Structure 1
Amino acid sequence: MYLSRVTYLLNTLALAIITAVLGGAFIEQLVMGELPCPLCLLQRAGLIAVGLGFLLNLRFGIQPAHYGVALLGSLVGAAASMRQILLHIAPGDPGYSGAVFGLHLYSWSFVSFVCLMIGIGILLLEPVGNTRPQSRGRIVALTMLGFVAIVLANLVSTLLECGLTQCPDDPVSYMWLDALKSRF
């Protein structure tokens, strides 16, 4: 019983951190005007899939299949971030976007996805006992609601940036907003 409460708490904490990271990326996009490139969007999609796995655990109870969703999301995100690292590894390449503590966000993304994979692996080691969802408090409910809200905001933002076509490699404006402005 104690382990399931700790696991439930860890799932809540992980979802809160993922929500904060997605929110931070979204704020950087809106405030600093740095539109995400296609690889950045893939990393966000991977992070959303990881968050979805934790959200499913909180909503429907701890299940290995939910961790499977999170693990697959981690693999997608790690692959996208590694691809972006390899694109900018050449000497003299300034990289894409600014650096935080000496590393670009896609490098931090790769480190985060590897840590998530390790954490999910550790969580999978816990024996499956009572898989019914725990009673949710306000903090858990707010965390779940915040995650859904930031996912929807990212979806709308991506549609405004790319429309229903392939996103530009180096986006400089919101494609759909520009189209709306040109009509009026």
Structure 2
Amino acid sequence: MTSNLLNSADVIAATELWLEKAVIGLNLCPFAKAVQVKQQIRYIVSQARTPEALLDDLARELELLAEANPETIETTLLIHPMTLNDFLDFNDFLDVADGLLEEVELDGQLQIASFHPDYQFAGTEPDDIENYTNRAPFPTLHLLREESIDKAVLAFPEAEQIYEKNMDTMRELGHEGWRRLFSKYGKK
């Protein structure tokens, strides 16, 4: 049990570092800093070794987030380092995850965003730097409240331009800049 706890702590630490250095540090998501500062992000490391077990964990986390006070838990990162490590399998699972969201009748209330170490947008090559906007250290499902997204978009007048701005940021940073961003922290 102790090794799982240490492993979970390491997984969370690596994810928090990525969030701090990439997502917040590069301003890839202008909404992330506030919830991080307020400690309203729930980090959960799934021990699932199969997509079915992960789906069970996802169901629990969706219900928990839906019932939680947003002042306490605004969003959840469900990190699953032992399953769906192949990006194509992960990408296929997203349809299953969205189906679960509908099945538990939380679509319209919650949504699921995705991050993966090998994330690849349609129409890009695997090594294109633009893919790094969604590259986390481990496969991760990000559970978000629709209401919070709506409020954030209203507060950020040009929210529709975030995607393009992120692509420009990554092109400017380049692969070497990405490596430097994490090299002093032991991640490459």
Same fold (TM over 0.5): no
Structure with bigger gyration radius:
1
TM-score by length of 1: 0.31
With normalisation by structure 2, the TM-score equals: 0.30
Higher relative CO (Cα under 8 Å, sequence separation at least 6) belongs to 1
**Structure with the bigger percentage of strand:** 2
